Amino acid sequence: MKKGIICLAVVLTGCGSSPHIDISTVDGVTQVTNPITGIEAASGGDVTFETMLHIGVMDGPEEECFGPIRDVTVDSEGNVYISEYQRHRIAVFDSTGSFLRYQGRKGQGPGEFEAITALSVDIQDRLVVFDRVSCRITRFSSEGALIDVIRLQTGEPWIRADMLLPYEERFLLTGRVDDSRTLFREYDTTGAMIAAYGTYPPGDDPAFEAKTWGSAAGDVLILDDGALWYAKNFFHDRLLVYRDRTLCRRIITSHLDVSPYTARSYPDLESLNKSRGWSWVGPGYYYGAQIRVRSCLLAATPDHRILHLVSFKKEGDPPWAELHAYWYDREGRFLKSANLGKSPGEPACMDRNGFLYYIGHDDYFYVEKIRVICGEA
């Protein structure tokens, strides 16, 4: 079975309807309450997929045989940047899937990496890379030339940064630093932290989430008007919107009948290894969890809508993920939804033309560009 990054353009010709929506103010925050229909009730008629591009092979040239892929991003020309976590480098392909070059290698020098965890491309098509071990941001030109290396002045080691978003000569990182519950941290081009804000929403199992949320903080989107949208990874029923570093809008999307996960604490590593599901290990704790509902991607579409992709675990041998898509206007009002069926991979990003990119890893690692057409219900 093929694997890779999938680029997906979503075309809507009719995916459901928009029932009554309530807008109120709760504790000084605008609250948009969308219809209580149950998130599993999403439907959108016939859905078809069209693969536009496939990058990656099981056997073949070295540049197309990937190790584990950590992240993917795309520039305005359609060039695809793929980070290989264990090989400490980034493979660059053009919009047709032809290999262009490698950027980076293992090391501690300029342009070298120890653990690439996040990629992004800024408005000038500069590639921006975060290394969590060296706690550095590295920028490359669109031609691959090294621009600068910025060491973050954090004073604390990063456990993980889920996402890196460059904007206005600043960098927004999401994730956890030690035991901090601050979601977002902004740094300038000298590496100085200029702001820390955002509170991680409490979950059904506070003890479990207090230990594990830093390895899965959630999805973040910054719009051209400066609004920051956030979706918690263990997704339940709401999106949060920040403006000027302050929570300004709470969007109630739906109401789940079950928790997005079932978690359990284990006394030791041996007991944890006998369990099934995802696992988290740290000083003095061993957690295992079955994740049922997970936020996969927040993206702004070319028609100025907000797309939210949510994954639902389905039982089977092996278990599989069903992908649901939800569209909102920029005020958070629910517009349309669609059940996209079995997910072709892990959604990674959307380019400026509305194509989504996925990472696949069934028999080998690959990237695909896919167009999704949602027909009339």
**Domain harbouring 88, CATH code:** 2.120.10.30
**Quick one: pLDDT at residue 177?**
58
Pair of tokens at residue 328 = 């909102």
Would you tell me how many other CB atoms lie within 10 Å of the CB of residue 154? 16
Residue 144 CA, distance from chain mean position: 24
| Furthest C-alpha separation in the chain | 58
Residue 96 in any domain: the answer is yes
Dist. CA 154–CA 143, nearest whole Å: 30
**Of 124, 129, 125, the residue nearest 102 (C-alpha):** 129
What is the Cα–Cα distance from 212 to 294, expressed in whole angstroms? 14
102-120: burial string, b at 16+ Cβ within 10 Å, e else: ebbeeeeeebbbebbbbbb
Other Cβ atoms closer than 10 A to 192: 12
- Give the closest residue to 80 by CA, choosing from 362, 364, 372, 349: 349
Amino acid at 36: I
Is 193 within a domain?
yes
Residue 118 makes CB contacts below 8 A (sequence gap 6+) with: 71, 129, 130, 161, 162, 163, 164, 173
Cis peptide before 19 (omega within 30 of 0): no
In this prediction, residue 335 carries a pLDDT of 84
pTM: 0.89
Our count of domains for the chain comes to 1
Amino acid at 182: T
pLDDT of residue 119: 93
Q: What does the pLDDT read at residue 155?
A: 58
Q: Is residue 317 part of a domain?
A: no
Cα separations in angstroms, 174 against 96, 184, 191: 32, 5, 15
Q: What is the CA radius of gyration of the chain?
A: 20
Could you tell me the residue range of the domain that residue 27 belongs to?
A: 10-258+333-374
Separation CA 126–CA 139 (nearest Å) = 6
Tell me, yes or no, whether 199 lies in a domain: yes
Q: Please indicate, yes or no, if residue 324 is contained in any of the structural domains.
A: no
Q: Is residue 282 part of a domain?
A: no
**Spans of the chain, pLDDT less than 70:** 1-19, 36-47, 155-160, 176-181, 214-215, 254-258, 374-377
C-alpha 44/C-alpha 168 separation (Å) is: 38
Proportion of the chain in helix, strand, coil states, percent, rounded to 5 = 5, 55, 40
In a domain, 318, yes or no: no
Residue at 2 is within a domain: no
Decide if 242 contacts 251 (C-beta within 8 A): no
For residues 37 and 20, the answer to whether their CB atoms sit within 8 Å is no
